[in-house]
C-alpha cells in the first residue's frame, strides 16, 4: 500500500513537472507573440501616418499643378485651401491655449 502511494506521488510529481514545463513553453510563446503584435501595431501606425502624409501631398500637388483650372478643379482647390486654413486656425487656437 505504501508502495502504491509512493508510485502515485511520483506519477503526480512527474505530471506536475511536465505541465509546468508546457506552461513555461506556452508562456514564452505568448510573450513572443505579444512582442510581435506590439511591433506590428507600431508598423501599422507608422504606415497609416505615411499614407495620410502622402494623401495630403497628393492633394497639395493637385492644387499646385492645375495648369488650366476647370470649375471642379477650382472648387476642389478652394476646399483644400479652406481645410488648410481651418487646420492652421486650429493649430493657432491650440497654441493660444
- Could you read off the pLDDT of 49-91 as tens digits, one per residue? 999 999 999 888 877 776 666 778 778 888 989 999 998 988 8
Structural domain harbouring 37? 1-48
Max CA separation in the chain (angstroms): 101
Q: Is residue 2 included in any domain, yes or no?
A: yes
Those residues with Cβ within 8 angstroms of residue 77's Cβ, 6 or more apart along the chain or in another chain? 62, 63, 66, 69
Q: Is residue 68 included in any domain, yes or no?
A: no
pLDDT in tens, 12-46: 999 999 999 999 999 999 999 999 999 999 999 99
pTM above 0.85, yes or no: no
How many distinct structural domains can be found in the chain? 1
Q: Is residue 35 included in any domain, yes or no?
A: yes
Amino acid at each position: 500500500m505504501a508502495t502504491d502511494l509512493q508510485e502515485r506521488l511520483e506519477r503526480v510529481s512527474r505530471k506536475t513537472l511536465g505541465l509546468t514545463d508546457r506552461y513555461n513553453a506556452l508562456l514564452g510563446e505568448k510573450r513572443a507573440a505579444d512582442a510581435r503584435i506590439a511591433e506590428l501595431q507600431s508598423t501599422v501606425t507608422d504606415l497609416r501616418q505615411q499614407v495620410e502624409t502622402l494623401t495630403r501631398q497628393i492633394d497639395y500637388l493637385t492644387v499646385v499643378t492645375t495648369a488650366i483650372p476647370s470649375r471642379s478643379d477650382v472648387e476642389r482647390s478652394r476646399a483644400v485651401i479652406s481645410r488648410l486654413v481651418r487646420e492652421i486656425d486650429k493649430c493657432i487656437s491650440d497654441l493660444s491655449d
